[in-house]
Structure formats: structure tokens, C-alpha cells
Amino acid sequence: MKVTVVGAGNVGATCADVLAYREIANEVVLVDIKEGFAEGKALDIWQKAPINLYDTRTVGVTNDYSKTADSDVVVITSGLPRKPGMTRDDLISTNAGIVQSVTENIVKHSPNAIIIVVSNPLDVMTYAAHITSKLPRTRVMGMAGILDTARYRAFLAEALNVSPKDIQAVLMGGHGDTMVPLPRYTTVGGIPVTELIDEETLNAIVDRTKNGGGELVKLMGTSAWYAPGSAAAQMVEAIVRDQRRVFPVCVKLEGEYGIDGVYLGVPVILGKNGIEKIIELQLNDDEKQLLETSRGHVKEVMDALDNINAAK
């Protein structure tokens, strides 16, 4: 199996490192536009192989997509990171151009690849990659839900003083302030979280999760990378190993949840063909309203991208 990671920055390099360390693919190709950058990161990861005892070969290239040919999965992390004071939506014009260019190169050299988008603003960059690739929606998806649920579960584990391994959760909607956490689908060792934590504390954790990316930007001056990179690698693993894992993933909805033509995070089964199935939960009225708010926000940014493309 061959996996390509486009963008050798913090997120991309972390993703490549996790893929290599876990021996998820035989070869991992790291691509970047900065001369020597991907080559250096890939070499560093490869030199770690004798220490951490793995066989995956990591190869770095500068803007040479011929070396990515016949990749089974491609992860796109390219684009500008958020800076303090920026919203994800501020990045749309520049990052859309980058993602569209990368996608064209991917499809040219790996027409059968499954594409995972990590670039922000996530939902709209997934849209950009999908319409550019012309691939089925099951093969172009965005990584956000795994990261968001991981933050949610980490905060809950801290509050409850339990292992994060025992916490299962689902979030839906857009990646950002309008995401839709679903506490009634959150369990701790099979126990509903609402039986273990008071409503006020739970609501505070939900709010912190919604602003999880912004919290890190304020602390570090740039976006997160360990958790996003690891989350993308987990999606790659589910596909490469045909694990049929149930994850929240950004995908184009075509009537599911009463929504058509908008890219939102929903629970799916992830396997060798990409998105094997979209799972439709029975949402209550409050949850439906939150999802509709999220849908409206994502659609606005999708429309903004359409206007930018129309003006070119």
C-alpha cells in the first residue's frame, strides 16, 4: 500500500510519522512546495525506523507528483495555517486555490486514490477537492469529526478522571463554532455521560470543544498539529486495513438528514472503498435545529467559494 501526504508542515509531517510508526502502509510519500522540506522530514522519519522498529519507507519530494503515482490514499494538509485573530473562513480564497491545484495533480497520477482533506476551512476545502476531482463522494472526505470528538473525549476524561479509552462520542455538522456535539450519544464504558456529569459542566466542555482549535491558536500562535495529524492517520488506517470503523467524517450529503448538496460531518462506516455507508441518526428537534444552523453556516462559505471561482 502507498499513501501520499501533501504538505510537509506540522500536520502533514505528524500524519506521515504516525503512518510510518504504525506501519499502516509500505511507503509514505511526503510532498511540499518548499525545496528540500519534505525530503528532510521524510529522511528524519526514516532514520527513526531502526529506533522505533518499523519498516515503512518514507520518501520526500518537492512538487513532483509523479513520485506519488498509484497512491491508494492521499491526505491533503496543504494551505495556510490560522493566525491569531483569523477565522477559518478568512482562509478560503488562498487555500481553495491550493487545494484545487493539489487535487488536480493527485487525480492525474492516482486516479483510483481515496482523498482525505485536512486543510481549513475544512468543510469547504472538502467541497473544493470533490468538485475538482470529479470522484464519487465516497472517495473524497474531510477530517474534522475525529479531531473534534477526540478533544471532546479528552476534556471529558479530564473532568471525570477516567481513561479517554473508555469514552465514545459522536459530533456532527461543520468543523468550527457551529459543530453539533451529541451528549446523549456520549458514553463512558457504556454508561451515558449524562449520568456521570452535571449539565453545567457538560455544557462547558461542549463549548470548549467548539472552540478547541481557537484555544490552541491563542496558546501557540498557530494551529494544532499532533491531534489533527494523528486523526488523519487514523482515517487512513481504517481505509487501508478495511477496518470498517465508525467515525464522524465530512462528506457531501445527498438527502441524508434532509440536507442536499452541503458538506457536513456525519457518522459513517470507513473501509477499503472509502465511505462504505452514511449512518443516519434519529435526531431530536433541538439537535436538528443545531444541525440546520451548521448547515446554513457551511452553505454560506460554499457560496463564497462559488463566487470567488465565478469572478476568476
Domains by residue range for the chain, with CATH: 2-142 (3.40.50.720), 145-306 (3.90.110.10)
User: Is 297 a catalytic site residue?
Assistant: no
pLDDT band of residue 87 (cuts 50, 70, 90) is low
The binding site for substrate consists of 82, 88, 120, 151
**Binding residue numbers:** 7-12, 32, 82, 88, 95, 118-120, 151
Q: What is the pLDDT of residue 82?
A: 65
State the Cα–Cα distance between residues 195 and 31, nearest whole angstrom.
47
**How much of the chain, in percent, has pLDDT values that exceed 70?**
97
Residues 6 or more apart from 287 whose CB is under 8 A from it? Answer: 172, 180, 182
pLDDT tens digits, residue range 11-44? Answer: 999 999 999 999 999 999 999 999 999 999 999 9
> Which residue in the list 109, 130, 175, 297 is annotated as catalytic?
175
Run of H or E including 21: helix 10-21
Q: Which residues are annotated as a binding site for NAD(+)?
A: 7-12, 32, 95, 118-120
Confidence of residue 86 (pLDDT cuts 50, 70, 90): low
Looking at residue 82, what DSSP letter applies?
P
Provide the residue type at 139 as one letter.
R
Cα distances from 42 to residues 5, 60, 105, in angstroms, run 11, 5, 20
pLDDT in tens, 97-128: 999 999 999 999 999 999 999 998 899 999 99
